[in-house]
A = this chain, B = another copy of it.
Amino acid sequence: MLASEVKEMNEEVPQAAETTTEAVEQDLPPRRVMANKLRADILNGELPPGSPLPSQRELAEKYGVARNTAAEAVKILESEGLIESRNRARPKVRERRRLLRLGAERYSNRLRNETGLSPFRAEVEKQGKTARVNCTSIERVPAPEEIAERLDLPADDDTVVRRENWYFADDEPVQVGITYIPWAIAEGTVLADSPNMGKGSLYGRFEDRGHRITWIREEIGSRMPTPEETKGLAIPAGVPVIDVIHTGIDQDEKPFEVTTFTMRADLNGLDYRIRIED
């Protein structure tokens, strides 16, 4: 049997999504046809979340292709984030996970002082999960360029404290945050050397130094994870990360802290309520 070569996805552009399920299998190569069929089965509930896919050998026979080809079909669905293959076990339809919805209120001064909880902890516990934060390193380093810019550091003194934090929900790693603090602010405080921030957490200490969080800027992007992130956050195939560059700005419009977050997109989301200024 010969390989029937095809045009693939080279059509024009716009127009809405079609979810017709059938009639999609025109001239597509076998693995696409197979992927389409499986995808349809998943979306219409034939293969509910958690259920295992047919084995590659079964699929291969059913469609009259080599097992190799069946494996490729499965890989397509994996790259779309629809299924999950742990190690060498039978791939399963991915369960819909509940998201952590991180909002700006988590920086609220009042909330912080009332609950004493860190922003992350407050959010996770609201979801009935157990939060854990691991501070894995505290270093004094020159600020990376994109950090120095946002902190508005003088060119002749770009020393910052770099604090790396790993965030867990129910012992599953969900995000990493790297906080950069100008040396001038951190010097001589727990910010510079202790993982333990004390009452009111990080922002409590900034307040001690005269910086009350008044504005935040959050720059958000998304991309596929690097191999290191894949490993570190145990990110399944087909799941992107959300990048946030967070800048804390005080009552005098001065930035005093930048934190970059990298979060698994299947476990995290953002939720802002913003007042529109006239």
- Which A residues lie at the B interface, using CB under 8 A? 9-11, 13-19, 36, 39, 79-81, 87, 99, 101, 104-105, 107-110, 134, 136-137, 164, 166, 173, 213-232, 234, 237-242, 265-266, 269-278
Do B226 and A17 have beta carbons less than 8 Å apart?
A: yes
Do B276 and A230 have beta carbons less than 8 Å apart?
A: no
Most buried by B among A79, A173, A221: A221
Do B109 and A278 have beta carbons less than 8 Å apart?
A: yes
| Separation of A117 and B273 alpha carbons in the complex (Å) | 23
22 A-B pairs whose Cβ atoms sit less than 8 Å apart in the complex = A10-B87, A13-B234, A14-B166, A14-B173, A15-B232, A16-B136, A16-B228, A17-B232, A19-B228, A39-B227, A81-B223, A104-B272, A104-B276, A107-B276, A110-B278, A216-B273, A221-B265, A221-B270, A223-B239, A224-B239, A272-B272, A275-B275
Q: What is the minimal beta-carbon distance from A22 to any residue of chain B, in angstroms? A: 14
Q: What is the minimal beta-carbon distance from A243 to any residue of chain B, in angstroms? A: 9
Main secondary structure of the interface of A (DSSP, over half): mixed
Q: Which residues of B are found within 8 Å of A17, using beta-carbon distances?
A: 226, 228-229, 232
| Separation of A65 and B165 alpha carbons in the complex (Å) | 41
| Separation of A9 and B86 alpha carbons in the complex (Å) | 11
| Separation of A240 and B80 alpha carbons in the complex (Å) | 9
Q: What is the minimal beta-carbon distance from A179 to any residue of chain B, in angstroms? A: 14
Given contacts A173-B13, A173-B14, A215-B274, contact A80 B224 (CB under 8 A): yes
Do A271 and B80 have beta carbons less than 8 Å apart?
A: no
Do B222 and A242 have beta carbons less than 8 Å apart?
A: yes
Residue of B nearest to A218 (CB): B272
Q: Which residues of B are found within 8 Å of A10, using beta-carbon distances?
A: 87
Q: What is the minimal beta-carbon distance from A142 to any residue of chain B, in angstroms? A: 17
Selected from B15, B221, B234, B273, the residue in CB contact (under 8 A) with A215 is B273
Do A269 and B80 have beta carbons less than 8 Å apart?
A: no
Q: Which residues of B are found within 8 Å of A217, using beta-carbon distances?
A: 271-274
| Separation of A65 and B151 alpha carbons in the complex (Å) | 49
| Separation of A104 and B173 alpha carbons in the complex (Å) | 30
Q: What is the minimal beta-carbon distance from A69 to any residue of chain B, in angstroms? A: 12
Q: Which residues of B are found within 8 Å of A224, using beta-carbon distances?
A: 79-81, 238-240
